[in-house]
Amino acid sequence: MDESHTIWIEKYRPAKLADIVGQDEIVERLQSYVKAGSLPHLLFTGPAGVGKTTAAVALAKEFFGEAWHMNFRELNASDERGIDVVRNQIKQFARTSPLGEASFKILFLDEADALTPDAQAALRRTMESYAQTCRFILSCNYSSKIIDPIQSRCAIYRFRPLERTAIAEEIHRIARSENLTVTDDALEAITYIAQGDMRKAINALQGAAILSPEITKAGVYAITATAKPEEINELLDLSLSGDFEGAEQVLAQLLRERGIAPNELINQCYRAIIKRPMDERLRVALVDQLGTTDFRLSEGANSDIQMDALIAQFVINARRFS
């Protein structure tokens, strides 16, 4: 396939453990398994886009070399969540002997927290029965959704959100490879949007690169449909000064003219409020209202009414604690 048509998150996915950025401690421990030639069952947990899948694939490549495809299989538990996928696909792969000179196979189960409790119970027994021929790597966003018997059978690795320096390093590497110029403001915008998620960062870079080889702050925000921090601050300034009409106009522009999703605005307001200097009582009241609005939207409430009500509550609470 022509690499020019490949999405960059796949084109620049690290092929070796050593190439994974921002997770040095985890990478070092995984490399020790390769040196020892032994591997326990693993549980990778953490937010999206921080390297869990990449680490699993890179680990398999380093264990099995060029023949890694023969002894490695990836399944996504969110596609088939029931017990049948464990009884059929997973068990069938686990029970067969490894190929070539490999002493075991690796089954990578992505989004394992999507498995039903019955499926997880069946998986626990499969992990016990075929431990000699197959090692399991489970990946999830929330380890609390994995039953305790499975957690106790795995070495647990908690991937943290990537720091700004790690994202900046990868963005600069891709930019050099693609002959792009990334301004400092654009890099700040990319790291602000990414929130520790490398996939978001690379997608934002590729989207902006379609517009121009010179990546600018404006181009990044335009392609990602994200409000600029100064726009969020303007919305909060007007709300907390008691100017409901002015704040509503800014809100309408962001929601209707810019097409920014209400949930995204709530997340950005939360990040701004946490960092903003203000009376602690006011901060608590605003965060509480953000949580209430987020819940109502998740339950299917009208987004226009709820977002206007959020701004109204900001105005009311600002007056209460002024």
Instruction: With a cut of 80, say whether residue 157 has pLDDT above it.
Output: yes
Sequence-ordered alpha helix ranges (H) in the chain: 8-11, 24-36, 52-64, 83-85, 91-95, 117-129, 148-151, 164-177, 184-194, 198-211, 217-224, 229-240, 244-252, 262-275, 280-298, 303-320
Q: Supply the pLDDT for residue 5.
A: 58
What number is the average pLDDT over the span 252-275? 93
Q: Give the architecture (CATH level 2) of 229-320.
A: Up-down Bundle (1.20)
Query: Is residue 186 scored above 50 in pLDDT?
Result: yes
Average pLDDT for 229-247: 94
pLDDT at 84: 66
- pLDDT of residue 254 exceeding 50, the answer is yes
- Tell me where in the chain the CATH 1.10.8.60 domain(s) lie: 164-224
Top pLDDT among 166 and 95 is at 166
Segments of the chain assigned to CATH 1.20.272.10: 229-320
DSSP codes, 25-60: HHHHHHHHHHHHT----EEEE-STTSSHHHHHHHHH
Query: Mean pLDDT, to the nearest integer, of 234-263?
Result: 93
For 3-158, CATH number? Answer: 3.40.50.300
Residue 4 contacts by C-beta under 8 Å, 6 or more apart in sequence? none
Domain 164-224 has CATH 1.10.8.60: yes
Calculate what percentage of the chain has a pLDDT beyond 70: 96
Greatest pairwise CA separation for the chain in angstroms: 73
Between 38 and 86, the more confident residue is 38
> Stretch 206-217: mean pLDDT, rounded?
90
Judged against a pLDDT cut of 80, whether residue 181 lies above it is answered with yes
For residue 222, what pLDDT is reported?
A: 83
Average of per-residue pLDDT across 23-27: 93
- pLDDT confidence of 1, banded at 50, 70, 90? very low
Buried b (16+ CB within 10 A) or exposed e, 231-260: bbebbbebbbeeebebbbebbeebbeebeb
Helix (H, G, I), strand (E, B) or coil at 152: coil
Q: Which of 98-102, 131-135, 223-227, 269-273 has the lowest mean pLDDT?
A: 98-102
Whether residue 251 is predicted with pLDDT greater than 60 in this model: the reply is yes
What is the pLDDT, as a whole number, of residue 82?
60
Q: What's the pLDDT tens digit per position in 54-88?
A: 999 999 999 988 889 888 988 887 666 666 667 77
- CATH 3.40.50.300 range(s) for the chain read 3-158
